Amino acid sequence: MAPEADGGQDPSAELLTQAATAFGLLASPSRVHIVWALSQGECDVTHLAERVGGTLPAVSQHLAKLKLAGLVRSRREGRRQVYLVDDPAVVTVVHEMVRQLALGRGAPANGLRSHEYGA
């Protein structure tokens, strides 16, 4: 996704839709954890499932959705599929969000968390 930052103009509807789709895919803690893990190096589904604490079918399903969206890709290595991040910009967003939250800058000033807003 290339930003359309022309003198403060709003992004196109298509670009906003793409951004919302990417954020929607990252609205799952498991998917954020998968992207985080893959940002540190490629991995197969078995090791990803162990790392993120998910079942093989669940992690495979998350990977399929991330792959369909172009956020991750896979390659064959012998008999196994190895997954890696295909969109470095998404890694940047995930790392920055986690960093901001860890520093306490991601919470609203009134202390309410996103789940209290129904997000």
Higher per-residue pLDDT: 66 or 4: 66
pLDDT at position 92 = 93
For 13-38, what is each residue's pLDDT tens digit?
A: 999 998 888 888 889 999 999 999 99
For 75-108, what is each residue's pLDDT tens digit?
A: 999 999 999 999 889 899 999 999 989 998 755 5
Q: Residues 6 or more apart from 25 whose CB is under 8 A from it?
A: 31, 65, 66, 69, 71
For 34-72, what is each residue's pLDDT tens digit?
A: 999 999 999 999 999 999 999 999 999 999 999 998 899
CA of residue 40 relative to chain centroid, distance: 13
Q: Residues 6 or more apart from 30 whose CB is under 8 A from it?
A: 52, 54, 58, 59, 62
For the chain, the residue count is: 119
How far is 20 from 6, CA to CA, in rounded Å? 20
Can you state the angle between helices 56-68 and 29-39, rounded to 10 degrees? 80
Is residue 66 within 8 Å of residue 34, measured between CB atoms?
yes
pLDDT at position 109 = 54
pLDDT at position 59 = 97
Return the closest-CA partner of residue 31 out of 81, 76, 93, 75.
93
Burial class of residue 73 (count of CB atoms within 10 Å of its CB; 0-12, 13-18, 19+): middle
The whole model's pTM is what?
0.77
